[in-house]
Amino acid sequence: MQAGWKPGISKYAALLGILCCLFWVGITGSNYPALATVQGPEQIILTWTDDPASTQTVTWLSPDTTASQLQYMPAVDFNGDFPNASIIEAQMSPFGSSNYRYQAHITGLTADTSYVYRVGSAEAWSETLSFTTAADSDTFSFLYLGDVQEGYEEWEDLLDFIKQNHPQIKFSLLGGDLANNDNEWGQFLTAASPYFSQVPMMPTLGNHDGYMYLNFFSLPGNGPEGLKKEFYSFDYGNAHFVVLNSGNNTSPEAKEWLKTDLQNTSQTWKFAMFHYPAYPAFDDNKTIDESICENWVPILEANGVDMVFVGHQHQYMRTYPIYQGETQTGVESYGIVYIMGNSGSKHYGAGAGFPYIDCQETGSNYQLIEIEGEVLTLTSRKANGELIEVYTIDKRKYPPLLQSVSLNPVIGQSIDISFTDDPAWRGSISSIRVGGIELNSDQYTLSEGNIHISAQVFKQAGNFEIVVSATGYRDASVIQSILDNEGSAGCYSLVSVDDDSYYSRINQDGIHYMTVNPGIGGFRYFTVSIDPIIPHSGDETVVFTHLRNGIQLAINATRADFDQLHIAQAGFNVKTGDLIKVFIVDVLTNEVDNNPVILQ
């Protein structure tokens, strides 16, 4: 950790936590803040209070005391009207000085089904809207949006951009500071409703949120007694989410609830969300940050939380995995990744450069999180869609290394692939693909430490990527060269030298890729061993290309007789996720008409 910032608790932390609860904007207020009168059933928001696969909760405002109905039906049965719709009578309560809040809880829904609905009464209905229940699937996408706080029209534009470009999103987490104060709550709801009347949101309290937050949102009631809506949890797919009020970070009841809640879930992915950061971009609420690290972080770490979503400092930040206050690196790194977001127009400059920060960006942004079984991909973009970064967590186990043991096979010849036998991996193999085409079971034979692929598979010469997929494991791959009956001008096998800094894969065209692992950065060497399958006359050239987000940053080419020299190496200044592309050619020149021949 950098000197000057240490995640230990200050002696004033507990006192400050209590004070935060007392002066937290509006929470303890008994008067209704000013709120503009709405014109009809509007400011409609979807949340969940129960199972996302079979229920949906809808909340809306109206100046009318009779706008209490919700009508809904399966979208497949909808023909433009609601004559046979199911009807729910919503619960009503005063909201502000001239509006009424309505809440309707729909139950008994069918999983993975689209429904249409409207709210209000015969005198004034809302527009026809829709929602889709959760599927029984471990593949889904959700959105994270940090602080809104101001610039509500721009934020509504961002939501419209997200709707147009990411229709796969199932729900959104909102990281607090939804409005600057309770008097601007109507502006927030007006901006939020067009999107969140059809895509559920699950929010957390920020230091600018208060009475309106607690009295508008319909949220799960499974938090600690007396702190419901401030603390809650829910499941979606194979993920578990805990939502915490970071302004109340010293509560013993909340701490015990958090521990029990996480201990009772067996979901593959575990996420937490709260407003104040445990690991900030810069120091501005140091005592609160330290208190969170003291009270919550050990519980999150002990129960295997993968990622924490925070806000407050109005910028994008992603940390390295952190465990017990230290950044973790390497392939098998363990710890929590902290994501700070900022979806509003207010933003701060770059932070203090703490060493646990891996990526940082100012301005308005949003995060798309895609879950596919045991693989998480986080894509962070600016409000205009410009890519900030892509970050992946892969929980799948590593497969054994594959190696071709067939010597110079030609068209119409069977081949053998060897591996250090792992019965668990071998028994989990679900498919084998050659050149992108999945093999039938009669085209290959599995045995201890060996995969035999029949001769009928290889009907032409070339370099074929053989990919073996096994449930719970990353894909294993190897390149197999098949020669024509007259031989070849030269062919070489490139294999990356084992290093915890990166993991390797080989494309169908034989080009070798090394991807920099999470937590790795700075100047690193990348090494490949080279074995001639068919020697090439003269010298060859091994080319290393450094790419970041698809953009070439540097190139290194070494020309030598690799029939004699069996290793090549190049060094680059890299970041997590960078690609190093390696290939061998006969010659590399600047001559336009002289095209190199790949010898892999």
Sequential DSSP letters for 86-118: EEEEPEEEEETTTEEEEEEEE-SPPTT-EEEEE
For 146-190, give the DSSP string. -B--S-HHHHHHHHHHHHHH-TTEEEEEE-S--SSSGGGHHHHHH
- Claim to verify: residue 360 and residue 403 sit in the same structural domain: no
Domain that holds residue 432: 396-486
Residue 20 lies in a domain: no
End-to-end CA distance of the chain: 45
- Claim to verify: residue 354 and residue 433 sit in the same structural domain: no
- State how far Cα 403 lies from the chain centre: 33
What is the model's pLDDT at position 3? 33
- Claim to verify: residue 174 and residue 93 sit in the same structural domain: no
Contact in structure between 113 and 52 (CB atoms under 8 Å): no
- Nearest Cα to 71, choosing from 144, 130, 155, 133? 130
Q: CA angle at residue 300 from 297 to 304, to 5 degrees?
A: 140
What is the model's pLDDT at position 459? 83
- Claim to verify: residue 285 and residue 330 sit in the same structural domain: yes
Specify which residues 271 forms β-bridges with: 241, 307
- Claim to verify: residue 474 and residue 498 sit in the same structural domain: no
The one-letter code for the residue type at 233 is: S
The rounded distance, in Å, linking the Cα atoms of 40 and 91 is 17
Residue 291 lies in a domain: yes
- Claim to verify: residue 234 and residue 91 sit in the same structural domain: no
323: helix, coil or strand? Answer: strand
- Claim to verify: residue 439 and residue 461 sit in the same structural domain: yes
The one-letter code for the residue type at 313 is: Q
State the CB neighbour count (10 A cutoff) for residue 16: 17
**Full pLDDT tens readout for the chain, 600 residues:** 333 333 333 333 334 343 344 334 334 333 444 455 556 688 999 999 999 999 999 999 998 888 889 999 999 999 999 989 999 999 999 987 788 999 999 999 999 999 999 999 988 899 999 999 999 999 999 999 999 988 899 999 999 999 999 999 999 999 998 988 888 888 999 999 999 999 999 999 988 888 788 889 999 999 999 998 899 999 999 999 999 999 998 999 999 999 999 999 999 999 999 999 999 998 877 777 889 999 999 999 999 999 999 999 999 999 999 999 989 876 666 899 999 999 988 888 877 678 999 999 999 999 999 999 999 999 999 999 999 999 999 999 999 999 988 877 888 888 999 999 999 999 999 999 999 999 999 999 999 999 999 988 988 888 889 999 999 999 999 998 888 765 455 677 788 887 888 888 776 456 788 999 888 989 999 999 888 777 776 788 899 999 998 889 999 998 888 878 889 999 999 999 899 999 888 777 666 555 666 776
CATH label of the domain that carries residue 195: 3.60.21.10
For 187-255, give the DSSP string. HHHHHHHHHHTTS-EEE---TT--HHHHHH----S-S-TT-BTTBEEEEETTEEEEE--GGGTT-HHHH
Residue 37 lies in a domain: yes
- Claim to verify: residue 531 and residue 465 sit in the same structural domain: no
The rounded distance, in Å, linking the Cα atoms of 87 and 70 is 6
| DSSP at 473 | B
Residue 159 lies in a domain: yes
Residue 17 lies in a domain: no
Residue 3 lies in a domain: no
Last residue of a domain, one of 136, 158, 188: 136
Predicted structure pTM score? 0.75
- Claim to verify: residue 162 and residue 218 sit in the same structural domain: yes
Last residue of a domain, one of 470, 486, 502: 486
Write out the two tokens for 87.
């009807």
- Claim to verify: residue 364 and residue 389 sit in the same structural domain: yes
Residue 510 lies in a domain: yes
Contact in structure between 412 and 397 (CB atoms under 8 Å): no
The one-letter code for the residue type at 417 is: I
What is the model's pLDDT at position 244? 97
- Claim to verify: residue 373 and residue 300 sit in the same structural domain: yes
The rounded distance, in Å, linking the Cα atoms of 335 and 333 is 7
Place of tokens 């015990």: 256
Write out the two tokens for 522.
């700075």
Residue 5 lies in a domain: no
Write out the two tokens for 389.
């970064």
Last residue of a domain, one of 486, 511, 545: 486
What is the model's pLDDT at position 462? 84
What is the model's pLDDT at position 211? 79
- Claim to verify: residue 74 and residue 160 sit in the same structural domain: no
| Number of domains into which the chain is organized | 4
